[in-house]
Structure formats: C-alpha cells, structure tokens
C-alpha cells in the first residue's frame, strides 16, 4: 500500500513525513517523525499517555489518523521548553514532585498547558476536569493538581 505525504506543523516547525494507510498519529509521530514524547499506553483512548494538541485542542493521538493532520498544527511535550528553558509547568511538576515514574507526564503536561492557554486562572475543579482523561498510577494526582494550580496562581518559578 502506498504511503501518503502529510504536511503539518510540529511544535511550531513545518514538517513533512509519509503516513501509512490507517496509521494513527501516535505511531506516525514516534516512528516517522521521531517525537517520542507521546507515549503508547492503552492504544484505545482511555489512558491519555498519548495526548497531543491539534490546533490547540487536546486529542488522544492513538485515535487520530495521521493523514487527518494535513495542514494542521500539532503540539507535544517536546515543544514545551524554550531551548534550555523549561516551561513553567515542567518546573512546577519538578517542584511539586508531580512526576514519579514519568510515563504519564508528557500527556499530563500537554493537557495542563492546553488548559492554561485557554484559561490562565482555572479553578481546582477545572484542573481536575482538564486532566481527567490522563491516568496516573503513581502520584495520586494531588501533586499534579498542585503544580498546575501553582502555575495558574503565579506561584511557580518561571
């Protein structure tokens, strides 16, 4: 089967790669593009480890066909830092011990960044809702919620 060229923007940079028939965005990003930050968790859209943004909205990349991102802007956790400077969310996750094993962290960070970009001052309930599609087996969620709220309240180092 022939592969399809896909032109898109990844973390602000124009990219092109070939997608196989029926290839999902997660596999495409990892295998064809080389962005390993979205993680394979469940492969059926229930864990959030593969969360990315498409045109600013969060999506589970395991459920998105790679061909469908033609001309669109994709954001992953790899795009959060500015060179050697971490995003305030990444700093807050470290400060609040919000990453233990780290497997869910890229998806959590993408979900949290999308929330804060859309709503810079979310309530605790809004934070909980925003990360509700991201499963974490290690932290108990409280450190993650605290880290996101710290950034929203300007208490995190920038």
Q: State mean pLDDT over 110-118.
A: 98
Angle of CA points 119, 76, 78, to nearest 5°: 115
pLDDT > 70 in the chain, percent: 98
* CA 73 to chain CA centroid, nearest Å: 13
> Is pLDDT at 155 greater than 90 in this prediction?
no
Q: Which helix (H) or strand (E) holds 128?
A: helix 124-130
* pLDDT value at residue 140: 87
Residue range(s) occupied by CATH 1.10.150.120 in the chain:
88-152
> Is pLDDT at 158 greater than 60 in this prediction?
no
Q: State mean pLDDT over 37-55.
A: 97
What is the pLDDT confidence band of residue 1, given thresholds at 50, 70 and 90? confident
Instruction: Please give the DSSP secondary-structure letter assigned to residue 135.
Output: -
Per-chain mean pLDDT for the chain: 96
Residue with tokens 């290839």: 23
The topology (CATH level 3) of 88-152 is DNA polymerase; domain 1 (1.10.150)
The topology (CATH level 3) of 4-79 is Ubiquitin-like (UB roll) (3.10.20)
Q: How far apart are CA 72 and CA 102, in angstroms?
A: 28
Q: State mean pLDDT over 5-32.
A: 98
- Its pTM stands at 0.94
Q: State mean pLDDT over 50-69.
A: 98
> Is pLDDT at 86 greater than 80 in this prediction?
yes
Residue range(s) occupied by CATH 3.10.20.30 in the chain:
4-79
> Is pLDDT at 3 greater than 70 in this prediction?
yes
């Amino acid at each position: 089967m022939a592969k399809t060229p896909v032109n898109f923007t990844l973390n602000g940079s124009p990219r092109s790669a070939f997608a196989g028939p029926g290839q999902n965005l997660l596999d495409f990003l990892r295998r064809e593009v080389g962005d390993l930050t979205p993680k394979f968790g469940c492969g059926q859209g229930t864990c959030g480890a593969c969360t990315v943004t498409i045109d600013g909205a969060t999506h589970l990349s395991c459920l998105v066909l790679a061909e469908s991102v033609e001309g669109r802007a994709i954001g992953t956790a790899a795009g959060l830092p500015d060179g050697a400077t971490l995003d305030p969310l990444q700093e807050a996750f470290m400060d609040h011990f919000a990453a233990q094993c780290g497997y869910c962290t890229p998806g959590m960070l993408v979900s949290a960044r999308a929330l804060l970009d859309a709503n810079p001052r979310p309530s605790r309930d809004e934070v909980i809702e925003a990360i509700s599609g991201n499963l974490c087996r290690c932290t108990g969620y409280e450190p993650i919620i605290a880290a996101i709220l710290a950034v929203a309240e300007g208490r995190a180092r920038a």
